[in-house]
Chain A
Amino acid sequence: NAGVTQTPKFQVLKTGQSMTLQCAQDMNHEYMSWYRQDPGMGLRLIHYSVGAGITDQGEVPNGYNVSRSTTEDFPLRLLSAAPSQTSVYFCASSYSGLLGMGEQFFGPGTRLTVL
């Protein structure tokens, strides 16, 4: 199993450009999420999905869009990049069971710089 994969590893954008961060998992997990990690601020939830066709906002959703057409994929779209979106982005997935969400498995991250 590859686990959670993310592409690209690094990306530099100019203000106003758009791009999609890709995330895929091969563990058949229902739950997937996107976090951003900034120095001194820990991991903050951007958007999450509890299954194909179902998404919801997290703590910092503004400027980001998501969709979930398959169980495996959960792309994150930046429609008009801003310097404030310079960050490291992590995708995570988890099974969900009787006790709720289980262990989250994180991808290796995408380091995004917006000039």
Chain B
Amino acid sequence: QQQVKQSPQSLIVQKGGISIINCAYENTAFDYFPWYQQFPGKGPALLIAIRPDVSEKKEGRFTISFNKSAKQFSLHIMDSQPGDSATYFCAASKASGTYKYIFGTGTRLKVLA
């Protein structure tokens, strides 16, 4: 099965807090795990991505943590800001031999001012 399970469905965080979104995958052949951010009325845009040769990747306030043995990865947003309020999607794919992304169902994040 090639599902990617994402949780929670929605999340409310106070300004300055930490937002954590989790994803789990089943197919061990997946080797590319991006996170996309989508604002209302817009298309998704790549936020940060990781490959399984590292356990963590950080870009500014955004960090991906990756646990290969548990087949789980998560997005951490440090010092969350109202401007981070958006829907976040995790995804997974195989780097070569296929051109298919499997997306999670999305998490709607609201950061309160």
A-B CB contacts (within 8 Å), total count? 66
Cβ of A48 < 8 Å from any Cβ of B? yes
Q: Please report whether the interface of chain B is mostly helix, strand, loop or mixed according to DSSP.
A: loop
**Bound form: Cα–Cα A45–B4 in Å:** 14
Q: Which of B12-20, B63-71, B73-81, B92-100 contacts A (4 or more CB under 8 A)?
A: B92-100
Q: How far is the CB of B27 from chain A (nearest CB, A)?
A: 14
Are A40's CB and B9's CB within 8 A? Answer: yes
- A107-B43 in contact given A42-B89, A100-B32 (Cβ < 8 Å): yes
- B75-111 contact mask (Cβ, 8 Å, vs A): 1 or 0: 0000000000000010001111111110111100000
Which of A35, A43, A90, A96 has the most chain B CB atoms inside 10 A of its CB? Answer: A43
**Bound form: Cα–Cα A90–B36 in Å:** 14
Contact count band on B: 20 to 34
Are A43's CB and B89's CB within 8 A? Answer: yes
The A-contacting residues of B in range 42-80, CB under 8 angstroms, are 42-46, 49
Are A99's CB and B103's CB within 8 A? Answer: no
Residues of A within 8 A of B36 (CB): 106
Cβ of A101 < 8 Å from any Cβ of B? yes
Which one of B32, B44, B94 contacts A106 once the chains associate, using CB atoms below 8 Å?
B44
**Bound form: Cα–Cα A37–B57 in Å:** 28
Closest to B31 in A: A100
Are A42's CB and B6's CB within 8 A? Answer: yes
Are B46's CB and A40's CB within 8 A? Answer: no
Closest to A99 in B: B95
**Bound form: Cα–Cα A71–B19 in Å:** 39
Are B105's CB and A42's CB within 8 A? Answer: yes
- A71-115 contact mask (Cβ, 8 Å, vs B): 1 or 0: 000000000000000000010101010011101111111000000
Q: Would you list 19 pairs from A and B whose C-beta atoms are within 8 A, ordered by A residue?
A: A31-B99, A40-B9, A42-B106, A43-B44, A43-B101, A44-B103, A90-B43, A96-B99, A99-B32, A100-B93, A100-B96, A100-B97, A100-B98, A101-B93, A104-B101, A106-B44, A107-B43, A108-B42, A108-B43
List residues of chain B with CB under 8 Å of any chain A CB.
6, 9, 32, 34, 36, 41-46, 49, 89, 93-101, 103-106
